[in-house]
Amino acid sequence: MTGVRLWNGDICDLQVDALVVPAMPTLFMTYGVAAAVKQRGGHGIEFEAASRGRQEVGTAVATGAGSLAARHVIHAVSAGPDRKTSTGAIDAATRSALRLADSLGAGVVAFAPLGSPLGGVPLAESARVMLRALHETLGATSVGEVVIALRSAATYAIFREELSRQRMLRAVQVTPGSELVGIPIAPADAASAADPEPVAVIASAPAPAGASPAPGIAGRPSPGADHPTPGPADGPGDPSADIVTATRAGR
């Protein structure tokens, strides 16, 4: 099943095929999530990235992941040397990173938010651009799942609100040129044998309080306690299912 979902936690903890972090053209991992990834995974990640030379905004570069549980780190160049970004840069970097993950054979990819108020783009606008880019690009790749890792309750709430808004739009619209068409919204447990084969899960909501941990992602070994695979989104919000499935046109 192909899909995008939210996860409330530290991206460095995830056992996935690739982590996507925001980067500047030099690829030095000096600020924010990139600095945290370097601290957890080792300075070798930064050394390998910086050795590739200066990159254009909107592109992406892959390196090893050092001591992290992931296999690759993808450096999505979403800001200029002044740390300023734009919706165009976020859109291009998101698409580039997902396509690069596909070329690496990644089945499960975790994204950190690629924009921030400090970069000049409000989080709500960053969420809108990222989620739209992922929706429009994911179906053309072999990536099985994208997880957006969000550390704070406020950021989680912003992304979840935008996810719900885009979900309602997709339930009644077909994106021009897209292979995906919306079908009615239903909780995951409402699926039946008569349902069309789902090829895109746009979102999932937080699990109810006290729920059992979700099983590991298909195709990846179940991790130990130190390196969880992302289960259903675990964070603040309405615990009711918030899932949208889609089928390929003509199937």
The pLDDT averaged over each successive group of 10 residues in the chain (251 residues) is 84 96 96 95 97 97 97 97 94 98 97 86 95 93 94 93 82 39 27 30 35 34 46 40 29 30
The reported pLDDT for the residue numbered 173 is 43
The reported pLDDT for the residue numbered 23 is 96
The reported pLDDT for the residue numbered 181 is 26
The reported pLDDT for the residue numbered 3 is 84
The pTM (predicted TM-score) of the whole model is 0.71
Return the structure tokens found at 26: 């030099």
The reported pLDDT for the residue numbered 59 is 98
* Domains, the chain, with CATH or none: 3-248 (3.40.220.10)
The reported pLDDT for the residue numbered 115 is 83
